[in-house]
């Protein structure tokens, strides 16, 4: 007996959006610092490619 599992193809995108929202919230918490703008830019330069790679990995994993 073979069981077919329905997978949500948009699940990796939902996870990515949650990661981005958490990262933005973390950056907004430090916006009162003078160096916050520089920190936010450097964090975004790292976070955006990491989130994109994670989304690609999850998308390939969710395919049959």
Residue 4 lies in a domain: no
Distance CA 45, CA 64 (A): 32
According to DSSP, residue 33 is labeled: S
The parent domain of residue 52 ranges over 11-62
User: pLDDT tens digits, residue range 14-63?
Assistant: 887 788 778 777 767 766 666 666 777 777 777 777 888 887 787 777 77
Q: Are 55 and 10 in contact (CB under 8 A)?
A: no
Residue 1 lies in a domain: no
Q: How many distinct structural domains can be found in the chain?
A: 1
Q: Rounded to an integer, what is the distance from CA 41 to the centroid of its chain?
A: 16
What local confidence, expressed as pLDDT, does residue 15 receive? 82
Residue 58 lies in a domain: yes
Write down the pTM of the prediction. Answer: 0.53
């Amino acid at each position: 007996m073979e069981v077919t599992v329905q997978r949500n193809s948009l699940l990796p995108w939902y996870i990515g959006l949650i990661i981005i929202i958490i990262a933005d919230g973390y950056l907004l918490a430090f916006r009162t610092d003078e160096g916050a703008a520089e920190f936010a830019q450097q964090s975004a330069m790292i976070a955006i490619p990491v989130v994109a790679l994670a989304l690609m990995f999850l998308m390939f994993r969710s395919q049959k």
